[in-house]
Amino acid sequence: MRVLIGGGSGFVGRELTRLLKAKGHEVTIVSRQPGPGKITWSELESNGLPPCEGAVNLAGENLMNPLRWWNESYRKDLFSSRVDTTKTLAQAIADSPSPPRSWVLVSGVACYKPSLTAEYTEDSEWTPFDLLSKLVKEWEASALLPERAVLGRDGGAMKQMLLPFWLGLGGTLGSGGQPFPWIHVSDLAGIIAHALEPPADTPPPSQQVLNGVAPALNTNYEFTKELGRLMRRPTIFPVPGFVMNALMGSERAIVLTQGQKVIPQRTQEAGFQYKYPDLTSALKEIVGS
Ligand code: NDP
């Protein structure tokens, strides 16, 4: 299968590319920069979709970019880098005489309202309630084709959390009791590959959401203590919510200081087997590497 991956040069894209190539598939990346194995977004717009059987969009300005202040220009880039690239890919697919069989967008679990008690599956209804949930709404709407799309709602990059822990500065964020959805990047790549390869004997679903989170439901406290234990580092410096809000901007800090219990019900029903279903196995692999 030939797969086109928007933003495939990033954290998730590199893992997905490795996995797809190991399965014998060919990958072309859509990027802002030209290079081997890549086409640019403007080439995609002017030349149309290259021949492919699967397409994915992972492009987006990093929400946790430590080099950028939380201001209007950053917020604009967060939206446009996701919505515009998704629209460009969706349009190219819609215009293609031989469109791919699968089209997968990875968005975020920020659409589900943070709660200590509510449990969200792919069937949960939601309406936008803050900036990031509005982003998910616009982002997913821009992916919609008359026919098909898989929306993978992904939560939680673990690797980005390691540095403060190495420095012995890891601690619970906010109250620590908030749910903390996470997934190992290898499983996320696996879920995307699974979505790209619907069984040949069944027609692909017209549109479906897969929650790209691990099945274990953990709190930020559990995550912090387990990571500290495996790294043999103290985790005695809790970061209060108001400090997180001041450092990151409250619209963004909500991702870490409040959380949702997200259940990957359909992902599991679809037969996906996690390599790292629980915190200890996932963190051991990350800390070990
Ligand atoms: P990355 O931060 O690694 O970025 C992916 C790619 O997006 C980059 O390699 C870059 O490609 C492209 N990109 C970055 N900024 C811009 C911009 N301003 N305009 C256009 N393209 C841009 O993302 P991840 O791989 O970590 O995540 C993939 C997707 O999954 C993202 O959309 C992210 O929001 C979503 N997601 C990720 C989570 C995570 O924990 N990692 C959690 C929830 C959702 P290039 O330089 O080649 O153009």
Residue 208: CATH number of its domain: 3.40.50.720
The predicted-structure confidence for 70-120, as pLDDT tens digits, reads as follows: 999 999 999 999 999 999 999 999 999 999 989 999 999 999 999 999 999
Q: Residue 177 domain-assigned?
A: no
Are the C-beta atoms of 107 and 136 separated by less than 8 Å? yes
Q: Residue 40 domain-assigned?
A: yes
Among protein residues, the one with the nearest Cα to ligand 1's atom 40 is 157
The model carries a pTM of 0.92
260 lines ligand 1 (CB under 6 A): no
Are the C-beta atoms of 130 and 86 separated by less than 8 Å? no
The predicted-structure confidence for 178-188, as pLDDT tens digits, reads as follows: 999 999 999 99
Distance 201 CA to ligand 1 centre (A): 33
Number of separate domains in the chain: 1
Among protein residues, the one with the nearest Cα to ligand 1's atom 7 is 59
Which of 132, 154, 158 is the best mutation target for the ligand 1 pocket, counting ligand atoms within 8 Å of the beta carbon and taking the most?
154
Q: Residue 60 domain-assigned?
A: yes
Are the C-beta atoms of 82 and 139 separated by less than 8 Å? yes
> CB count, 10 Å around CB of 236?
11
Q: Residue 166 domain-assigned?
A: no
59 lines ligand 1 (CB under 6 A): yes
What residues in the chain have per-residue pLDDT under 70?
Answer: 146-161, 163, 199-206, 289
C-alpha 207/C-alpha 17 separation (Å) is: 23
Q: Residue 145 domain-assigned?
A: yes
Give the range of the structural domain holding residue 82, as residue numbers without chain letter.
2-156+182-214+261-275
56 lines ligand 1 (CB under 6 A): no
The predicted-structure confidence for 157-172, as pLDDT tens digits, reads as follows: 566 667 677 777 788 8
Is the complex ipTM more than 0.90?
A: yes
Give DSSP secondary structure letters for the chain: -EEEEETTTSHHHHHHHHHHHHTT-EEEEEESS--TTEEEHHHHHHH-PPS-SEEEE-----TT-TTS-SSHHHHHHHHHHHHHHHHHHHHHHHH-SS--SEEEEEEEGGGSPP-SS-EE-TT------SHHHHHHHHHHHHH--SS-EEEEEE---SGGGHHHHHTT----BTTS-SB-----HHHHHHHHHHHH---TTSPPPSEEEEEES-SS--BHHHHHHHHHHHHT------B-HHHHHHHH-HHHHHHHHS--EE--HHHHHTTPPPS--SHHHHHHHHHH-
C-alpha 184/C-alpha 164 separation (Å) is: 19
32 lines ligand 1 (CB under 6 A): yes
Q: Residue 165 domain-assigned?
A: no
Distance 7 CA to ligand 1 centre (A): 6
Distance 122 CA to ligand 1 centre (A): 22
Q: Residue 207 domain-assigned?
A: yes
Residues paired with residue 38 on neighbouring β-strands, in sequence order: 29
Per-residue pLDDT at 152: 62
- Whole-number mean pLDDT of the chain? 89
